[in-house]
Chain A
Amino acid sequence: MIDAIKNLFKDNSNTTKLANIKLFKNLNKTELSCLSNYLIERKFSKGDIIYQENYPHVVIYFILEGNIELYFTKNGVNKTFENLTTNQHFGEIGLFDDNVRINSAKAITDCSLLAISKYDFVKFASKYPGSGIKLLYNLAEEVVRNYYDRLKNELE
């Protein structure tokens, strides 16, 4: 609480940290600084639920520090879907889909995340179209890579 009050009007997201996030590669310092206006820092303790399955998805998270587990629940049993670590991101499906979350996210260590709502993401992309294209290109590149990796694994 005291920390929150102390940091109320202090901007903690510095551009060096942002530059390490995979999705933000190719963005220059000015673009990162503009983007940081929309990013909100969130802290989660080990075991905290970040979001749950079937919740409306509106927020994309970037991991500044810590590890995250994405899982889904089937017949009351949690099944791990993916483990993510520093500089990775999750929840981006919400950008392209208005339905609810298909998985849950849990902090498996103490975590520091940056969050951006899909509304702010779209606002940023339309305000700075050049940066918006870079971000969407990076996102598409990652989706394609993931798709090929899975295809390769299945074929092997």
Chain B
Amino acid sequence: MNLNNINLMKVSFILLCVIIAGFALFIYKSIFIYIILSLIFVYFAERVVNVFENLGLRRLYSILLFYLLLITLIFFIIYFLIPIMLRQTSIISSAFKDFITMPPEQLNKLTFVQNFDSLMASINNILPFINLDNLPEQFQFLVSESVQKIPNYLLSYSKNIANFFSYFFIVPVISFLILKDIHLIKKGIFRLVPNKYFEISIILINRINSSIVTYLKTLFIEVSIVALMTAFVLNLLGIKFSLLIGIIAGFLNIIPYAGPFTAAIFACISVLLTGKPISLAFWTIISMWGVQLIDNNVVYPFVMSKGIEIHPLYVFLTAIAGGLSFGFFGILFALPTLYLVTTIIQVLYRNLKDFGII
């Protein structure tokens, strides 16, 4: 009887906790995303703050110094980098606009169209059964269709852009409070872990953490190197918006196989539409291919000494699924997410087995 009473009390207490947790989740759901973003921010900030602490600065001063450096960096990007990017973007966008609105007679006067026409004429001579007439106009229509979709795409993201500013102010404030008391928060969370799972939780957190850090470091180094190399070679070729294409190529490099290909196509079209000859577009492709060769054979093996192997088919399927569910950002973040989830599962499985839990 007594035992039943105890069990009833225990069940009632757990039920009460679940109800309170559910209610809290309902109340806090609107700020849930802020907390997630703050935790991601803290994850990166903690590393920099640790470096300052290692140099002998007190934690509070280290955090303040980090924020000061971050503000300086944002200031630098807004005042120096963004104007360059905007200038380069406007060159490309005006080139696209001119191309779309160009009447056919003017279109035929473009260097690359003339070169293209002569190339098509020679192909037609050899293979007369292939109809290649009006190909430049068809190409113009295709570009026009794609470009016209961009404003709608941006509009659908306009709400997110408005939200971005609220995140911009709230996330750093929450992060500051977490960073200041991170040791207490960590200790508090560990205190909740039952004794049986205490040691394994330490191992798991440490191993998952080091896997994530290794992967993100690798990703960051690779994106930066590809962006810099692309910008450098395109600059050597005399392309004005080399920096913009470089940055785009760097980020697209995250998408396996299709990413570098898309970047090369984008670079090529941009070169052609600004009135440069076909030969330059050809050299652009060759140089971007060269960058890929260096990336795949030198940079990647060097920075990723012991990465996990994921089958290309699985990579492709994940990228497609990511794209269908979350659009462009889904494609971009599909592989990093796949990698991280696979690593976490591997680490969990290995360690839970070591501890005899599974």
A binds B: yes
Of all chain A residues, the one with the shortest Cβ separation from B199 is A59
Give residues of chain B (165-187) contacting chain A, Cβ–Cβ below 8 Å: 181, 183-185, 187
With an 8 A cutoff between CB atoms, is A127 at the interface?
yes
- Asked, given contacts A7-B191, A42-B195, A50-B195, whether A119 binds B181 with beta carbons under 8 Å apart, the answer is no
Q: Pick the contact of A48: B54, B185, B195 (CB < 8 A).
A: B195
B4 CB, min distance to chain A CBs, angstroms: 20
Q: Pick the contact of A44: B50, B195, B202 (CB < 8 A).
A: B195
| Chain B residues in 8 Å Cβ range of A50 | 195
Number of A-B contacts (CB under 8 A): 56
| Chain A residues in 8 Å Cβ range of B202 | 58-59, 117, 119
Of all chain A residues, the one with the shortest Cβ separation from B188 is A8
Q: Is the CB of A51 within 8 A of B191?
A: no
Interface of A is mostly: mixed
- Asked, given contacts A9-B184, A42-B198, A115-B198, whether A56 binds B54 with beta carbons under 8 Å apart, the answer is no
With an 8 A cutoff between CB atoms, is A155 at the interface?
no
Q: Pick the contact of B198: A5, A56, A59 (CB < 8 A).
A: A59
Q: Is the CB of A56 within 8 A of B354?
A: yes
CA of A115 to CA of B54, assembled, Å = 23
- Asked, given contacts A48-B195, A51-B199, A126-B54, whether A7 binds B206 with beta carbons under 8 Å apart, the answer is no
| Chain A residues in 8 Å Cβ range of B355 | 55-56
| Chain B residues in 8 Å Cβ range of A56 | 199, 203, 351, 354-355
| Chain B residues in 8 Å Cβ range of A119 | 202, 206
| Chain A residues in 8 Å Cβ range of B183 | 37-38
| Chain A residues in 8 Å Cβ range of B203 | 56, 58
Which of the listed residues B184, B198, B199, B202 has the most CB atoms from chain A within 10 Å of its own CB? B199
Give residues of chain A (9-65) contacting chain B, Cβ–Cβ below 8 Å: 9-11, 37-42, 44, 48, 50-51, 55-56, 58-59
Give residues of chain A (101-122) contacting chain B, Cβ–Cβ below 8 Å: 115, 117, 119
Give residues of chain B (186-200) contacting chain A, Cβ–Cβ below 8 Å: 187-188, 190-192, 195, 198-199
- Asked, given contacts A56-B203, A56-B354, A127-B50, whether A41 binds B191 with beta carbons under 8 Å apart, the answer is yes
With an 8 A cutoff between CB atoms, is A151 at the interface?
no
A interface residues, how many (CB within 8 angstroms): 27
With an 8 A cutoff between CB atoms, is B117 at the interface?
no
B279 CB, min distance to chain A CBs, angstroms: 56
CA of A44 to CA of B196, assembled, Å = 10
CA of A48 to CA of B202, assembled, Å = 19
Of all chain A residues, the one with the shortest Cβ separation from B59 is A37
With an 8 A cutoff between CB atoms, is B137 at the interface?
no
Of all chain A residues, the one with the shortest Cβ separation from B10 is A1
Q: Is the CB of B195 within 8 A of A127?
A: no
A44 CB, min distance to chain B CBs, angstroms: 6
With an 8 A cutoff between CB atoms, is B53 at the interface?
yes
Q: Is the CB of A117 within 8 A of B191?
A: no
Q: Pick the contact of A8: B13, B192, B354 (CB < 8 A).
A: B192
CA of A4 to CA of B193, assembled, Å = 9
CA of A51 to CA of B199, assembled, Å = 8
Q: Is the CB of A9 within 8 A of B54?
A: no
CA of A142 to CA of B199, assembled, Å = 25
A113 CB, min distance to chain B CBs, angstroms: 10
| Chain B residues in 8 Å Cβ range of A55 | 199, 354-355
- Asked, given contacts A11-B184, A119-B202, whether A40 binds B54 with beta carbons under 8 Å apart, the answer is no
CA of A58 to CA of B195, assembled, Å = 14
| Chain B residues in 8 Å Cβ range of A8 | 188, 191-192
B 126-170 to A, binary, CB cutoff 8 A, 1 in contact else 0: 000000000000000000000000000000000000000000000
13 contacts between A and B (CB under 8 A): A5-B192, A8-B192, A9-B188, A10-B188, A40-B190, A41-B187, A42-B195, A50-B195, A58-B199, A58-B206, A115-B198, A127-B50, A127-B54
Other contacts beyond A4-B191, A56-B351, A119-B206: 17, CB < 8 A: A5-B192, A7-B188, A8-B191, A9-B184, A9-B185, A9-B188, A10-B184, A10-B188, A11-B184, A11-B187, A40-B191, A44-B195, A51-B199, A58-B206, A117-B202, A119-B202, A127-B50
